[in-house]
Amino acid sequence: MDLDTVMAEAAPRRFSPKDDMPEEYRKAATRMIQFHANSEVMGGYLEKPFIRQAPSLDRKLAFSAKVQDEIGHAQLLYRAAESLGVKSRDQMLDELAEGEGKFLNCFHYPMDSWYEVPMIAFFVDGAAMRRQATLKRASWEPYAHAMDKVCFEEGFHVKHGEDILRELMTSSKANQERTQEAFDEWWPRILQFFGPTNDKSTHHDFSAKVGLKTMTNDELRQAFLNAYIPKAEKYGLEIPDDPGLIYHEDEDRYEVVEEDLDWDQFFTVTKNASEGSERQILSRADRQEAVDWVREAMDGWERMGSTTTPQAAD
């Protein structure tokens, strides 16, 4: 099948691994799903230290489950990308460890305090839910099917993050002030989560025409603002003045002043040129190297066709 045929169809068709499809589609779908899978991995690594730092056993258990979920989502997505036949799962993981794999801007920044936890677990995960709900209708069927499980579990993650935010913002004045400081720092990053504005997005038009995306970056950002500004204010957070927001009272909707979003910083960060990016990537590389012996042992066991359990390294 050629690309012109796909683009000429009245509505984007859906593809499964057995279908013939244009090479351009395979590459675009692989890039998009690999980016999503990488982001799940790096989000899990960003939050992993807070399993120990969580202030109670219940919080530790919840955070442990959340991190496990994120890594599990990545595995589902790598398999969905692998089924396109362009790259193997191992190739994609190697690219991530070597700093070549791209991932979401929010996961490039370091997260050091418990007050920052709801910025990811509530606001970023809430933004992710906005995007991921639309991907249940993506034209690559393995991706769309994976989104059913991902969205179900992300719903719990958002509730967990909201509960942490509620706890912090109904406790001491000091906790409220520190949470507000974290919110001030993270708010611009959260609004950039959806990617560049429509005029700066390089992949949207093609992805929309072939059914990989169903909403623009600006539409998703708009929907997030309308839903989450009232939620932030409900818990006593003050919305920062920068970037600016316009409230259209007649339509009951918010709009971000797009020129206030620092896209130069965004592109610098997402191209792995920041201290936070390097820290995250090195963390991923170290962990991949630490378990290489397990993969090697399992591969050797399979090659020998042994029925015995592989032994642990000395």
- What would the pLDDT profile of 34-92 be if each residue is shown by its tens digit? 999 999 999 998 999 999 999 999 999 999 999 999 999 999 999 999 999 999 999 99
Contact present, 117 and 111 (Cβ < 8 Å):
yes
- Per-residue pLDDT tens over the stretch 120-159: 999 999 999 999 999 999 999 999 999 999 999 999 999 9
One-letter identity of residue 189: R
- Residues 6 or more apart whose CB falls under 8 angstroms from that of 208 comprise 214, 216
Q: What is the reported pLDDT for 292?
A: 74
Residue 182 CB-density burial (10 A; 0-12 exposed, 13-18 middle, 19+ buried): buried
25 pLDDT higher than 90: yes
- Could you tell me what percent of the chain has a pLDDT over 70? 88
Contact present, 168 and 116 (Cβ < 8 Å):
no
Q: What is the reported pLDDT for 284?
A: 64
- Per-residue pLDDT tens over the stretch 168-202: 999 999 999 999 999 999 999 999 999 888 777 77
Residue 116 CB-density burial (10 A; 0-12 exposed, 13-18 middle, 19+ buried): buried
Q: What is the reported pLDDT for 289?
A: 75
Model confidence at 6, pLDDT cuts 50, 70, 90, reads low
Residues present in the chain in total: 314
Q: What is the reported pLDDT for 10?
A: 47
Residue 177 in tokens:
């002030």
- Count other C-beta atoms under 10 Å from residue 169's C-beta: 18
Instruction: Give one word for 305, left, alpha or beta, with left for phi > 0 and alpha for psi -120 to 50.
Output: left
Strands (E), 158-300: 245-248, 253-256
Give Cα separations from 311 to 294, 296, 305 (angstroms). Answer: 10, 11, 15
Q: How many Å is the maximal CA-CA distance in the chain?
A: 71
The model carries a pTM of 0.85
- Per-residue pLDDT tens over the stretch 86-120: 999 999 998 988 888 899 999 999 899 999 999 99
3-277 CATH fold: Ferritin (1.20.1260)
- More confident: 242 or 295: 242
Q: What is the reported pLDDT for 258?
A: 84
Q: What is the reported pLDDT for 191?
A: 94
Going by C-alpha positions, the residue among 86, 89, 87, 80 that lies closest to residue 143 is: 80
The three-class DSSP label of residue 247 is: strand
Q: What is the reported pLDDT for 297?
A: 79
Going by C-alpha positions, the residue among 91, 95, 89, 94 that lies closest to residue 74 is: 89
- Per-residue pLDDT tens over the stretch 272-309: 655 556 666 666 667 667 777 777 777 777 777 655 55
How far from each other are the two terminal CA atoms of the chain, in whole angstroms? Answer: 53
Handedness of CA 52, 159, 197, 6 (dihedral sign): positive
Q: What is the reported pLDDT for 237?
A: 98
Q: What is the reported pLDDT for 307?
A: 56
- Per-residue pLDDT tens over the stretch 251-265: 889 989 988 988 888
Q: What is the reported pLDDT for 205?
A: 83
> Mean pLDDT over all residues of the chain?
88
Going by C-alpha positions, the residue among 55, 58, 212, 94 that lies closest to residue 143 is: 212
Residue 303 in tokens:
């090659």
